[in-house]
Structure 1
Amino acid sequence: MSRAPSVTDLRALPASYTTEVTADLVDANGHLNVRHHVALHDEAGWAFFADLGFTPERIEEGRHNFFDLEHHVRYLAEARLGERLSVRHRLVARTSKALHLVSYLVNDSTDAVASTLEVVTLMVDLDTRRPVDHTAEEAAVLDARLAADRALGWDAGLSGVLGLRPARP
């Protein structure tokens, strides 16, 4: 398992989502509860995909969208009441149907990575509920983002337990 990237490195990625730790998100330990870490990563994921063109309108029109298959969460630092948070994403790999990405929850108030959510997600036809290939247009957008993210020059901080399987013949 490699270390999470630094906050300085992560600021090279656009923030998909920003928020503040409010009282309803804090648990008896006085920090952001684990379920809210995951919820913030999830909420930011919708914004990340919309920024890539996977908007609600496109999903409805094309009748396909991503279904997450696996998650690996790492809790790295506290986030406490009133602190400002941002979520940033890095695309790690893709196949014709699947993506491997990492979501980073950054505590902008303390300059710490609060948590990471590593994800493998699959493009699925919403009518048949079966995997489908990305369209040529989607593949081009994903490839452009993948190339940009690979050019960052820093390690993505992967867990080592998730990855994409090669396509079956």
Structure 2
Amino acid sequence: MKDEIAGGNAMEQEATYRGTVYPWQCDHVGHMNIMWYVGKFDEANWNLFARLGLTPSYLRISGRGMAAVQQNIAYKRELLAGDIVEIRSHLLEIRDKSIRFRHDMTNAETGELAATCEITGVHMDRQFRKSAPFADCIREAALKHLAEPAEV
């Protein structure tokens, strides 16, 4: 697997979500309703997590989970029925028990930025319902994908 592509890391270059805006996802104004932005960003979350080793299998076997504790969405341009949507994700920060990342949603045809979403998520122990440190292998994978690597 290539770690570097055209000056950015592989995660930044590969979409974490691609899909279409369907007519039933549009509201009375004619553009995609906000509930669907959240859903598409959520789907990108799981693709991003899998790239870091937080796969469904890992989460099931380890008894771990991820929980969003903060989510901020900025809407830039409307998306209409039939538009092709692409999301690219950028890991901004990894801490002992939390992760912060940003999704950029674009209209894949025009390249226009439609929305951004910054999320802070917490790694948790599902049995005790408390935050838990990331496994070393997850932290190591995440450090390789930081959008702006921390200075050593």
**1:105 — aligned with what?**
105
Question: What TM-score does the superposition give when structure 1 sets the normalisation length?
Answer: 0.78
Task: Return the offset for 1:124.
Answer: 0.4
Higher RCO (CA < 8 A, seq sep 6+): 1
- For the 8 Å contact 1:13–1:90, the answer to whether it is kept is no
- Count of residue pairs the alignment pairs up: 140
C-alpha distance in 2, partners of 1:75/1:13? 22
C-alpha distance in 2, partners of 1:57/1:119? 23
1:52-84 CA-partner distances (Å, limit 9, x unpaired)? 221111101111121110011100001111111
**2:26 — aligned with what?**
26
**1:158 — aligned with what?**
none
Identical amino acids, percent of aligned pairs: 23
Task: Return the offset for 1:117.
Answer: 0.9
TM superposition outliers: structure 1 runs of 4+ over 2 Å? none
Task: Return the offset for 1:28.
Answer: 1.2
1:17-73 CA-partner distances (Å, limit 9, x unpaired)? 100111111111111111111111011111211222211111011111211100111
- For the 8 Å contact 2:125–2:132, the answer to whether it is kept is yes
In structure 1, list runs of 5 or more residues that go unmatched: 1-8, 152-169
C-alpha distance in 2, partners of 1:36/1:90? 20
- For the 8 Å contact 2:65–2:126, the answer to whether it is kept is yes
Root-mean-square deviation (CA, aligned residues, Å) is 1.6
SS in 2 for 1:53: coil
**1:162 — aligned with what?**
none
In structure 2, list runs of 5 or more residues that go unmatched: 1-7
- For the 8 Å contact 2:71–2:117, the answer to whether it is kept is yes
**2:42 — aligned with what?**
42
Task: Return the offset for 1:12.
Answer: 4.8
**1:150 — aligned with what?**
148
